[in-house]
Amino acid sequence: MTAIRRRKKDRPPKPPKPAKAVRPVRRPGRVRRALVGASDPFVHLLDPQHRNPGPRWLLLLVMLAAFAMFWIAFGTAGTTYDVGVTGYAPFVFVALLVAGPLLFVLTRPLQALMFSVATAFVLGVVLPDAADAPWPWLVVQGLIMFALLFATGIRRSLPEALGAWFLTVLLFWWGLPRAEADGWAVGLAIIVLFGVLTGRLVRARQELRVQTEVSESERALRRVLEERARLARDLHDIVAHHMSLVVVQAETAQYRVPGLGDAAREELLSISETARSALTETRGLLSVLRQENTQAENAPQPGLHLLDDLVESSRRAGVDLEVRITGDLGVLREGRSLTGFRIMQEALANASRHAQGAPVRLEGHGDARGVDLAVLSGLPGQSETHVAGLPRSADDRLGWLEVGVAPETGHGIIGMRERAVAVGGRLQVGPVAQGFLVQLFLPSDAPDGVRSGGNRSGGKRDEGTA
């Protein structure tokens, strides 16, 4: 035995079993989605994947129905049972047994149906029947059994629904003549079939909702990742520019500054090597972020100094654009100037796409504290050909309006928010009384005299509509 155990220990471990391939969920077809959409308000109340009663108002409705069935069962007891023999006192308890199972129609319909069938059989055996009784049980109890049978077909599996149907048919075969019981068997089968089909429709709706949520979350995540990759590429261009200047200044310092000692030269060479290494790593990171089928952009990065070109291109595209720029927009450094240009570019593109034919107004102001920019697009189809400007302070700074909630289902608003947060700016996007507003503030941290280009005159520029 010891040798066998040693052999087992010496055996190499078994390789792990390959993981089973995950089968993709099939997307429902057009007809199935149409049926789901048409029945959505109804099947939401009978969700087979949840055991909770559902909304509070639905639970209250079931309780009210059970209360009504209790009094109907108590009041109609004389039509089925011989009240003269037993009196009305026992039928308070009988009415509780009849109406009680209805309280579980939304949570445990199969168990409630089994209890109701058993109660109908026991009461039919124990209590004396009336001479003209249509069934050996109360008519109200029969209606409750129909409701429980229908709910069982919705919420339970097909074998369980067939078992519930067979149990109910046995009760009818016991209490009714055979010819009449056969007809009820067919009617009960129709109730179960309708319940099963409704349950499958509910499950199809659930699958469609889950697939829609997954698709929406994947699309939103892809938009965010694409925009972050674009931000990273823009940041690389800015960092590469400044790091290249560091390398050039460090390597040429010994020729431009006379009298440098050996220690200073070695320190500058070390700075140059470190900057080159950082520049190389940044380029390597960019190659990972850039998509495989995306070509590198060789053109210089834009900024607010190209805002006039953006305005002209928007007007050529048919946008009825009015512009008012005051102050100096060149107070921003390159990264923030690029952010302002990109956000205004996206705002004008959205205005031309979603407010076709409506007037659009672009306003801006720049000073030592930063740059205010805003794009206000009018409502599509309005008769006005002019959009009122934003309120301004005494020093021409733009005022901030109260905006409504903007749906962020598209790529543009998400990208604008990402860009504004990345450079420490403030952005608000949403509907206002005049139309739709995109307003941005970018703070300036550059000292006086350092500019990234733009309107350097510090004057005021007002333009009319195209």
Q: Is it the case that residue 12 has pLDDT exceeding 50? A: yes
pLDDT for res 441 = 92
The pLDDT value given to residue 372: 92
Domain ranges (residues) in the chain: 30-213, 226-289, 304-463
Report the C-alpha gap between 116 and 410 in whole angstroms: 54
pLDDT for residue 371: 92
Please give the residue that has the higher pLDDT: either 19 or 281: 281
Asked whether residue 85 carries a pLDDT value surpassing 50, the answer given is yes
Predicted local distance difference test score (pLDDT) of residue 284: 66
Report d(CA 378, CA 437) in Å as an integer.
Answer: 9
Question: Tokens 């445990």 correspond to what residue?
Answer: 108
Gap between the Cα atoms of 63 and 233, Å rounded: 62
Greater model confidence, 49 or 57: 57
Q: Which residue has the higher pLDDT, 304 or 388?
A: 304
Q: Which two tokens stand for residue 101?
A: 């199972």
What share of the chain in percent tops pLDDT 70?
73
Res 440: pLDDT:
92
Alpha-carbon distance of 256 to 465, in angstroms, equals 52
What does 249-301 look like in DSSP terms, one character per residue?
Answer: HHHHHHHHSTT--HHHHHHHHHHHHHHHHHHHHHHHHHHHHS-TTPPPP-SPP
CA separation for the pair 55, 43 (Å, rounded): 13
* More confident call, 306 vs 350: 306
- What percent of the chain is predicted at pLDDT more than 90? 5
Q: Indicate whether 244 pLDDT > 80.
A: no
pLDDT at 38 over 90: no
Read off φ and ψ for residue 157, nearest 5 degrees: -75, 170
pLDDT digit string (tens) for 112-171?
999 999 998 888 888 877 777 778 888 888 888 999 999 898 888 888 889 999 998 898
Whether the pLDDT of residue 58 is over 70: the answer is yes
Residue 404 contacts residue 298 (beta carbons within 8 Å)? no
| Residue 199 confidence (pLDDT) above 90 | no
Confidence at residue 175, expressed as pLDDT on a 0 to 100 scale: 83
Range of 55-59, 190-194, 403-407 with top mean pLDDT: 190-194
pLDDT mean over 228-253: 69
Q: For the residues 193-201, what does the mean pLDDT come to? A: 88
pLDDT of residue 50 exceeding 70: no
* pLDDT for 300: 61
Instruction: Give the CA dihedral 285, 337, 312, 398, nearest 10 degrees.
Output: 140
Per-chain mean pLDDT for the chain: 75
Of residues 47 and 389, more confidently modeled = 389
Which band of pLDDT confidence, cut at 50, 70 and 90, is reported for residue 449?
very low
* 444: nearest Cα among 327, 329, 302, 303: 329
Q: How far is the C-alpha of 205 from the C-alpha of 304, rounded, in Å?
A: 49
pLDDT at 373 over 90: yes
Residue 29: pLDDT over 80? no
The listed range with the strongest mean pLDDT (151-160, 410-419, 446-455) is 151-160
In this predicted model, which residue has the larger pLDDT, 76 or 363? Answer: 363
Q: Which fold has domain 304-463?
A: Heat Shock Protein 90 (3.30.565)
Residues 6+ apart with CB under 8 A from 158: 196
pLDDT, tens digit, for every residue of 324-357? 898 888 888 887 888 889 888 888 888 877 777 7
For 392-406, the pLDDT digits (tens) are 888 878 888 888 877
